[in-house]
A = this chain, B = another copy of it.
Amino acid sequence: MEKIGVGLLGLGTVGTGVYKLLGKRAEVMEHTIGAQLEIRKILVHNINKKREGVDPSLLTADWREIIEDEEIQIVVEVMGGMEPARTMILEALKAGKNVVSANKDLIAEDGRILLDTAQENGKDFLFEAAVAGGIPIIRPLKQCLAGNEISDVMGIVNGTTNYILTRMSEDGMEFEDALKKAQELGYAEADPTADVEGLDAARKVAIMASIAFHSRVVFSDVHTEGITKVTARDIAYAKEFDRVIKLLGVARNTEDGIEVGVYPMMIAKDHPLASVRDSFNAVFLHGDAVDDAMFYGRGAGEMPTASAVVGDVIDAARDIRSGCTARISCTCYRELPIKPWGEVRNKFFIRMQVVNQPGVLASIARVFGEHKVSIERVVQEHADPERAELVIVTEQVKEKYMERALGELQSISSIHEISSVIRE
A interface list, Cβ under 8 A from B = 17, 21-22, 24-25, 28, 31-32, 128, 134-136, 139-140, 143-148, 214, 270, 272, 274-277, 280, 287-298, 301, 303-304, 306-311, 313-315, 318-319, 322-324, 327-328, 331, 333
Contacts and interface: CB of A to CB of B under 8 A. Distances in A.
Stoichiometry, as copies per complex, reads 2
A313 to B, nearest CB: 8
Contacts of A277: 270
Given A318-B327, A322-B327, 11 more contacts: A28-B214, A32-B146, A134-B289, A134-B291, A139-B143, A139-B144, A143-B311, A270-B277, A272-B275, A289-B303, A289-B306
Nearest to A296: B294
Contacts of A140: 136, 139-140, 144
Contacts of A311: 143-147
A149 to B, nearest CB: 8
A290 B319 contact: no
Contacts of A22: 147
Contacts of A306: 147, 289
A17 B289 CA distance: 9
Given A290-B304, A290-B307, A298-B291, A328 B318 contact: yes
Tell me which of A144, A292, A322, A331 has the highest count of chain B C-beta atoms within 10 A of its own C-beta.
A144
B134 A314 contact: no
A288 to B, nearest CB: 8
B270 A148 contact: no
8 contacts: A144-B308, A287-B307, A288-B303, A291-B298, A294-B296, A295-B295, A296-B296, A322-B327
